[in-house]
Structures are given as structure tokens and as C-alpha cells.
Amino acid sequence: MSIDNITTDQALKDKHRALWASGDYPAVADVIAALGPRLTDAVAIGPDDRVVDIAAGAGNVAIPAARTGAHVVATDLTPDLLVIGESREPDLGIVWRTADAEDLPFDEGTFDVAVSCVGVMFAPHHQRCADELIRVCRPGGRIGLINWTPTGFIGQLFSVMKPYAPPPPPGASPGVLWGDADHVRALFGNHVHDVTATTESLPISRFADGAAFRDFFKATYGPTIATYKAIGDDPTRAAELDAAMAALADDHIADGQMEWEYLLVTGTVTG
């Protein structure tokens, strides 16, 4: 990699780190907390498993995994989130470590299980992330992922925000592609076998109406905050986005509940 590419890549990482440190992502993590135990169960994490949670955020998977007796390392590009995660469960023995999902600081085959829950999908270079998931997991080890689908509510939310958001950096792939089973299988190639991909949904009863959802995400969710920041002082575009986000959420609320669709992928590293 040239010096120019290294500089550009570092600037991109710095932007991502700042994006996820903005707002209050742990509040969002609380809304989707049930995904952590779901992924922990799906890859059958248990006592003495060596587990790495990649792009762990505030520990939605790392914490329930550690409660099984597993030895867990939680990594994230944004150290602010790791500090919050550690403060939540300081006595579980989790190692909280700042690390880039595209360049993990671990030897090949270090872990029995590698997991990521709506985390690694937001790194820009998908193949690098997939290669790292495979590299740090031993042959015969398990990989487990939960990612938002392109067609589900969160995938549609990103489509609504896209016309107002800053342009993606060159070479970056859309995060919701990680919610497409064929895309994930292609990333894994023949390095992961017994791949299962199941579309499931998370029931959300947090929001009374679309406006309540919109206001919550405007205040807490880094990508939404960045999108509004990109609009700047244009009140017309801000009003358009306000209306579009509220309308989308209203369309997905029935009897006070939403369903947020995700793809659950599990597989075994080829040995």
C-alpha cells in the first residue's frame, strides 16, 4: 500500500471512529440488545471457548458470551464504546481492545469463535473484514454474524438517508450487503463451510410513532447524525429528511411494534 493510500485509509478510519463516537450509540445498542444472546446461542458459545467479538460496540455479544464462561476479547475501532462496555460488566474478565476489523492485531488461529453483530458490516472494505474473520479463527472454529438486510427496515432507512448523506469513500461497499446471503458466501469462498444463512426479525416496541423513532435516531445514531450534518443549514432538505424518516417508520409500526429484519449467518472455518 502506498503512503498516499495509507494516509487516505487512516483519514477514513478517523472519520468512522468519530462517527460512532457521536450521539449515543449505547442507547441504540440497548434497543437491539436481544441480538447479542441470539448470536451467542447460534454459534453455541460455551465455557472455555476463546471468542473475539469484532466491532463489538458496547458489548452486546461480548457480555452474554462471557457469561457462558467463554474467554472473550471485545474489539472496536472506537475506544469510547469499549469504555462504556467495560463499565457495564467490569467483573466478567472480558478484554476490551481497540482494533480495526480490517487489520486485527491477533495471530492466525487465535480464537475458537469469531462473531460480529451489526458491527463489521459498517467497515468499508468487506473482503478485508471477511479475510480477518477467517484468519483469526482456528480451523474448525465457528464464525457468526448478524447484519441488517438490504430489504428490512434498517436497510430501507439507509436508502432513505442516502440522497442526503455524504458520498461514500472510493472503494467502500454498502454495509447492508452483509445482509445478503450470496454476498457473504462469496466473501467467505471455500474458506468457510457449512454456512447457514437465516433471515429473522427483531421485534421493537420502543417507538410510539415514526416521529419518535426519527427523533431518537437523530439524537443517538452516528450515521443519522452524520447525514443531518451533511445537510448543514439547508432547512428544506432537513425537513424533507425529517418527513421521509418518520414516514418510513410509520409504515413499519403496527400495534405499537416494528420488525427489524436481519440476516444470521454461521459457518465453520475450513481446516
139-194 pLDDT, tens digit each: 999 999 999 999 999 999 999 999 999 888 888 899 999 999 999 999 999 999 99
- List pLDDT tens digits, range 210-245: 999 999 999 999 999 999 999 988 999 999 999 999
Contact assessment for residue 260 and residue 154, using Cβ atoms and an 8 Å cutoff = yes
**C-beta atoms surrounding 73 within 10 Å:** 22
Whether residue 190 lies inside any domain: the answer is: yes
Whether residue 94 lies inside any domain: the answer is: yes
DSSP code per residue over 49-118? -EEEETT-TTTTTHHHHHHTT-EEEEEES-HHHHHHHHHH-TTS-PEEEE-BTTB-SS-TT-EEEEEEES
Contact assessment for residue 112 and residue 44, using Cβ atoms and an 8 Å cutoff = no
Whether residue 38 lies inside any domain: the answer is: yes
Q: What is the pLDDT of residue 81?
A: 95
Query: In terms of pTM, does the model score above 0.75?
Result: yes
Whether residue 144 lies inside any domain: the answer is: yes
Average pLDDT, the chain: 95
Whether residue 256 lies inside any domain: the answer is: no
- List pLDDT tens digits, range 26-36: 999 999 999 99
Q: What is the pLDDT of residue 7?
A: 53
Whether residue 22 lies inside any domain: the answer is: yes
Q: What is the radius of gyration, based on Cα positions, of the chain?
A: 18
Domain of 38, in residue numbers: 3-205
- List pLDDT tens digits, range 247-257: 999 999 999 99
The angle formed by the CA atoms of residues 14, 19 and 23, to the nearest 5 degrees, is: 145
Whether residue 245 lies inside any domain: the answer is: no
Residue 195 has pLDDT above 70, yes or no: yes
- List pLDDT tens digits, range 89-144: 999 999 999 999 999 999 999 999 999 999 999 999 999 999 999 999 999 999 99
Number of domains in the chain: 1
**CATH number for the domain harbouring residue 197:** 3.40.50.150
Whether residue 212 lies inside any domain: the answer is: no
- List pLDDT tens digits, range 12-31: 888 889 989 999 999 999 99
Q: What is the pLDDT of residue 168?
A: 83
Give the whole-angstrom CA distance, residue 227 versus residue 209.
21
Q: What is the pLDDT of residue 12?
A: 81
Residue 2 has pLDDT above 50, yes or no: no
